Structure 1
Amino acid sequence: MGISGFEPTFLVGLEAVRENHGPRLAALGGRRLTGYALVRFVEDGEWFADCPVVLDFEGVRVEICHWKFDELSISWNTVDTTAMITGWQESEFTPTWSSADERFEPFIGRNLREVSLLEWRSSGQDLADGSIAVEFTFDAGRFCISNGLDENSIEVGDPHPDFVRHQLGS
């Protein structure tokens, strides 16, 4: 993708994600969300949801990226959001890092209360069954970064009822 520092390791399933990232995600509790970055196109400002979502909790950055129907990569302090995105051949548009998104604005400066993994368990047959979202809960509300079927999706508020919550930490 030409994103400096981005070397995703995609995991599948609740246990793999919890084992590899659960303690670090839980340790974010009590920290303030101080910033975030998404990739947007210069020409029209549209969010390119295939790229990682970077959240900064007082200097600890978590980078979340979904791929295919059930793969999730979480990395820590690796993506350089100040570097230009290079080698782009996917589109006629120019990607750039942006810290403009109305969904995250209400949470900036707020203390994170807890992090949970949300597991999609549909009542019917569903290609997304077992996919994992990461939910961030603040006193002022919550948002999650979920799988939008081969890209990231950002949802604010209570999660869809087909998600099963697995709280991390105490």
Structure 2
Amino acid sequence: MTMGISGFEPTFLVGHEAVRENHRPRFTELGGRRLTGFALVRFAEDGEWFADCPVVLDFEGVRVEICHWKFDELSIGWNAIDTTAAITGWEWSEFTPVWSSADERLEPFVGQELREASLLEWRLPGQDLAHGTLAVEFAFAAGRFHVGNGLDENTIEVGDPQTDFVRHRLG
């Protein structure tokens, strides 16, 4: 599942403990760095975000690459995706995927220093379909956003998370 994205070789993990164990040291190193850019895949024809593709965030040269898949799988990569390379292998689709650095939700955070990164785990009393899904949250002086699981695609939400999330600090 590389989606024609150069350097994207996802390793999907399930559960906050597995993600923390594999990625906490890297997230800790991000603290104090400024968000200097980001990249999302959009369709050239209409500008719509293709939320199945990874969200790439650049913190002064350290890139974190977040991608949700299925109902509970999360891949986090580091400095692997080449957002300057064309996305290939989409001959079956009438749409052309391209990297974009335009997003009104993320743009206000560019230039801000990261205060903290956390995993948010969805915990609703009783079992629901989203129970246990994860989001990666980034907190800055002027606010926060998280890249979450939209049940088989990424979501981006700005502001405080819903109260049914449990926060697990990463760094």
TMscore range, shorter length: over 0.9
- C-alpha spacing 1:90/1:29, structure 2 compared with 1 (3 Å): farther
SS of 1:27's partner is helix
123-132 or 20-29, which deviates more? 123-132
Q: Please, which runs of 5 or more residues in structure 2 have no aligned partner?
A: none
| 1:5-154 alignment, distance < 5 Å | 5-89=7-91, 91-154=93-156
Look up the SS of the partner of 1:80 in the other structure. coil
Compute the TM-score of the two structures, normalised by the length of structure 2: 0.96
Query: Would the alpha carbon gap of residues 78 and 126 (structure 1) be closer, same or farther in structure 2, given more than 3 Å must change?
Result: same
User: Which residue identity is paired with 2:105?
Assistant: R
Q: State the distance in 1 between where 2:91 and 2:121 align.
A: 34
What secondary structure, in the 3-state scheme, does the structure 1 residue paired with 2:145 have?
Answer: strand
Quote the offset at 1:85 in angstroms: 0.2
1:128, distance to aligned residue in structure 2 (A): 1.4
Of 160, 163, 166, the residue aligned with 2:162 is: 160
**Unpaired runs of at least 5, structure 1:** none
RMSD: 0.9
The residue type equivalent to 1:27 in the other structure is: E
- For 1:58 and 1:133, the matched residues in 2 are separated by 22
How far off its partner does 1:35 sit? 0.3
What amino acid is aligned across from residue 84 of structure 2 in structure 1?
T
**Which secondary structure does the structure 2 equivalent of 1:102 belong to?**
coil
TM-score using structure 1 length: 0.97
- Deviations for 1:44-71, whole angstroms, at most 9, x for unmatched residues? 0000000000000000000000000000
CA–CA distance in structure 1, aligned partners of residues 77 and 138 of structure 2: 16
Say which SS state the counterpart of residue 15 (structure 1) adopts.
helix
